[in-house]
Amino acid sequence: MLACFNTGAYNYNIKLFIKLRKAIIKRLIIREKLVMIGKVDLKEKFEGLKNLYGIMGEVDEYRQITNGHINETYYVLIGGKQYIFQKVNTYVFKNPVAVMDNIMMIDNFVKNNQKKSVCKIINFLVNSEYKNYTVTQEGEFWRLCIFEADTVTFEVVEDPAILRSSGYAFGDFLNVISDFPADRLNITIPDFHDTKKRLENFFRIVELDENNRAAIARDEIKAFEKYRDFCCKLTDMTESRELPLRPVHNDTKYNNILLNKDSFEPVCVLDLDTIMPGLVAHDFGDAIRFAANKAAEDERDLSKVNIDFDYFKEFTRGFAGAVGGSLTGKEIETLALGAPIITFELASRFLADYIDGDKYFAVHRENHNLDRARCQLKLAVSMMDRLDEMCEFVRESVNSINPIGG
Ligand code: GN1
Ligand code: MG
């Protein structure tokens, strides 16, 4: 220690300090350059892509939209017109052409169907090769659409009245596509909402524990053991054919509906990537999971995370009003079960991904998937406490089918 105070050591330390400082500054400059180069590359990429779509004008501006966990999405302004450019995650969607094929089939069906829907569905632009996607030289899978002006999405619900029209929009979407032959849809992610297989996979990952991360989640893992049988109920009823497989959206987060920025009426249903044969209870349940909880999906303060019954009721009224008439008795009976089951399922997917080293969901902070899993688990347990009331309310709402404004 004392040696530090003799002049030689002092000079040495000063020199070292200056050298280090220079190195740090140099590194910062290089980083800055890399960031700049990265941006120029992206701009060039967007220029190249837009040319393939015959879009006139220059790329004036772009920014990333980070609310999705899977695909990479950009808002791009070209010659004053607004577009969305999206790079599809091919780790998650192994066959992205099949995804785009499903979207195309559903789009054609909805456009030509006699049952008119309350709002539009997302529509991708077609390139010079008449395809609704483009594979770049680097093998990236891109798709483009027009940004819907004067619309908004919400991450957290602020006004329960808006929920009723969102519920109506998702219910209406299911009703309109209900006549589409489900077996024509490509299975883009096998066993996507097979909760039994999801939990088997979860316990396999816990057992392997390749990143030594399972210990921190010991309590959460026990909770999955406790609720495992309950979570398999819908899968069992599907296997025994008590519940029908229909074409469903499979990702009915509230932010997957564009709303008019003034009236908050639904304008467009987004994100049809996981449209596949599935259960109506999962679509209903996933929407409740996201919308009927005042906290964010990754909230760390678990005291804020709970099912909000007023929100639940508003969404259910809208949803039942639109789809209620086409449901079987068993579907009505099991609709509310979808909420805790899909929430447990997602909690297990987040926790499995955390333990597996964060390979699937994009993470933006340390332990992000662990936080998400804890939040969803807390929410699922809060739903279990009110499950009987939820089932009863669904029954009442379907029985008194009451379309919006009617
Ligand atoms: C993923 O990123 P996004 O919103 O498209 C996931 C859904 C989850 C959701 C949770 C293909 O959806 O299943 O419910 O995150 N999509 C896929 O926010 O796994
Ligand atoms: Mg999605």
* Residues 99-110 pLDDT 10s: 999 999 999 999
Residues 6+ apart with CB under 8 A from 276: 102, 185, 186, 187, 188, 189, 192, 247, 248, 250
The predicted model gives 129-151 an average pLDDT of 96
Residues 6+ apart with CB under 8 A from 129: 52
Specify the 3-state DSSP secondary structure of 76. strand
Q: How confident is the model at residue 81 (pLDDT cuts 50, 70, 90)?
A: very high
Instruction: Measure the CA–CA gap between 273 and 103, rounded to whole angstroms.
Output: 7
CA of 251 to the centre of ligand 1 (A): 6
CA of 251 to the centre of ligand 2 (A): 6
Alpha carbon distances (Å) from 40 to 48, 59, 284: 12, 11, 43
CB of 96 closer than 6 angstroms to any ligand 1 atom? no
CA of 185 to the centre of ligand 1 (A): 19
pLDDT digits (tens, 9 = 90+) for 118-131: 889 999 999 999 99
The partner residues of 380 in beta bridges, in order of sequence, read none
CB of 271 closer than 6 angstroms to any ligand 1 atom? yes
22 exposed, middle or buried (CB, 10 Å; 0-12, 13-18, 19+)?
exposed
Checking if the pLDDT of 341 tops 60, the result is yes
CB of 298 closer than 6 angstroms to any ligand 1 atom? no
The partner residues of 276 in beta bridges, in order of sequence, read 248
Provide the Cα torsion 336, 342, 347, 353; round to 10°.
Answer: 180
CB of 70 closer than 6 angstroms to any ligand 1 atom? yes
Q: How confident is the model at residue 67 (pLDDT cuts 50, 70, 90)?
A: confident
pLDDT digits (tens, 9 = 90+) for 174-187: 999 999 999 999 99
| 210 token code pair | 């390749």
Q: How high does pLDDT run on average in the chain?
A: 89
| 78 token code pair | 């070209």
pLDDT digits (tens, 9 = 90+) for 260-318: 999 989 999 999 999 999 999 999 999 999 999 999 999 999 999 999 999 999 999 99
* pLDDT value of residue 39: 52
CB of 302 closer than 6 angstroms to any ligand 1 atom? no
Angle (deg, nearest 10), helices 368-385 and 280-291: 110
Ligand 1 atom at minimal distance to the Cα of residue 68: 2
Checking if the pLDDT of 19 tops 80, the result is no
pLDDT digits (tens, 9 = 90+) for 284-297: 999 999 999 999 99
Strand order of the β-sheet with 151-152 is 120-121, 266-269, 257-260, 151-152
pLDDT digits (tens, 9 = 90+) for 29-38: 333 333 344 4
| Residue 183 per-residue DSSP state | G
Q: How confident is the model at residue 40 (pLDDT cuts 50, 70, 90)?
A: low
Instruction: Measure the CA–CA gap between 74 and 67, rounded to whole angstroms.
Output: 11
Ligand closest in space to the Cα of 273: 2
Among positive and negative, which fits the CA dihedral 4, 5, 8, 12?
Answer: positive
pLDDT digits (tens, 9 = 90+) for 354-380: 999 999 999 999 999 999 999 999 999
pTM check: above 0.85: yes
* Largest Cα–Cα separation, the chain: 90
Ligand 1 atom at minimal distance to the Cα of residue 69: 2
Amino acid, res. 134: T
